Chain A
């Protein structure tokens, strides 16, 4: 009967979507889609169960679908740290830590990004994250581990490269493998 809980979850959904997409508008679109989806799927939610986890599940599925269709369109594969390290070497503006962190986050495979954010930022239990992302808990742990290591490597990369200015000469076109 109480409608308040749903509204209460919006700020956290917005924050998660913001970090997931790295884009203010895309994030709010994702939240809007999530709420609309939740509206049409209410009967799938069990009364008394964890509303927050359920809303994040709805959002996760929407995001995963978006990622799948984006991947299909771009036909690009995931990018290795080694390949992108040079791109991070020479920021045009003085490096803004938050922007840098967001940029590096977006370089993580979406699966790892989602797990990393759900655990680190949303304080979800590993078990809840497993349910939300629909994978076994072992997979959650390996995604978390790989996500953390990869993010750290990406964050550390500019500092290393800054000491080697010649690295910036590498063409950016290496970023995308064409198939």
Chain B
């Protein structure tokens, strides 16, 4: 803090002001101000006494709960921080992706591989189609939320680790009601960390998490798509790039099953990963 206006008076015989004494105690003086004040202080025993008193009080306050700094952070605070971090990450993503407006339904990335139910004029959509659209959007958002919540976890990013891959695949296949396969993304630098079971609106969903050597984590979120009145066969789409969730993702639907690959990576890299996943499933 600069106290120049009231402190650097050339008349050094004036007693130190209250603010000057505090600034001295708190170490908030510029070097030149400090030198002048110290010279002044030498001639002012009353001010010296006050500086000493405030210093002692300051030290006492600093010692008061010092031990809290060394305590382990309680887990509920740690997880609250992870969620905050996740939303910070989300914010960073928005910046990175050019500040695309939130809440825009599947704004970009239309029809990467094939024509889809998304293309065409929304006004001519039937309510059933719109319901499907809503289900897809919800699915993708949930995929993004699941990514945001679990990927920052330090201790428990997954329920079952890659070390028990066979068990993991059997377990999740049984719960989501479809034989699953874990894609191998090693050629793109990502190794499987493990997976977890998550609730969906119409049943269980699974999340597989992968990590590269830089510590970047991507997640594959999958499950039966809710409200599929047209039957499983009618539900196939190409790749879509979604940015309305917390984390950008590519998603697609195959035989009534929806897949979303989410991660804080550039769009073309995510696209490559999504293609690799799609080919192997």
B65 touches A42 (CB 8 A): no
Categorize the interface residue count of chain B. 35 or more
Given contacts A3-B152, A42-B88, contact A19 B61 (CB under 8 A): yes
Q: How far is the CB of A85 from chain B (nearest CB, A)?
A: 18
Give every chain B residue within 8 A of A1 (Cβ-Cβ). 89, 92, 264
**Known A39-B87, A47-B95, A141-B19: A117·B66 in contact at CB below 8 Å:** no
Q: B71-99 vs A: 1/0 string, CB under 8 Å?
A: 10110111011111111111110010000
Q: Does B54 contact A (CB under 8 A)?
A: yes
* A141 and B80 contacting across the interface, CB-CB below 8 Å: no
Interface centre among A1, A12, A102 (most CB of B within 10 A): A1
**What separation, in Å, do the CA atoms of A154 and B57 have in the docked complex?**
12
A53 at the interface (CB under 8 A from B): no
Q: Would you call the interface of chain A mostly helix, strand, loop, or mixed?
A: helix
Whether the pair B61, A101 counts as a contact (CB closer than 8 A) is yes
Q: Does B28 touch A at the CB level, under 8 Å?
A: yes
Report chain A residues within 8 Å CB of B264. Answer: 1
Which A residues touch B64, using CB under 8 A?
A: 19, 98, 101-102, 105, 121
Q: Closest residue of chain A to B62, judged by CB?
A: A121
Interface-forming stretch among A66-74, A143-151, A161-169?
Answer: A143-151
Instruction: Digitize B91-126: 1 where CB-to-A-CB distance is under 8 Å, 0 elsewhere.
Output: 110010000000000000000000000000000000
> Known contacts A6-B81, A35-B81, A127-B1: does B87 contact A42 (CB below 8 Å)?
yes
Our count of residue pairs bridging A and B at CB distance below 8 angstroms stands at 118
B44 at the interface (CB under 8 A from A): no
Instruction: State whether B28 touches A126 (Cβ < 8 A).
Output: yes
A-B CB proximity, top 9 nearest: A3-B85, A35-B80, A39-B84, A15-B68, A126-B1, A120-B58, A11-B69, A120-B61, A18-B65
Q: What are 22 inter-chain pairs, A to B, with CB distance below 8 A?
A: A3-B88, A10-B77, A11-B71, A14-B68, A18-B68, A19-B64, A28-B77, A39-B84, A42-B91, A47-B91, A47-B95, A97-B60, A105-B64, A119-B22, A119-B26, A120-B57, A121-B61, A125-B1, A126-B28, A127-B1, A145-B18, A145-B22
Binding site for B on A (CB under 8 A): 1, 3, 6-7, 10-12, 14-15, 18-19, 28, 31-32, 35-36, 38-40, 42-43, 45, 47, 97-98, 101-102, 105, 116-117, 119-121, 123, 125-127, 137, 141, 144-145, 148, 151-152, 155
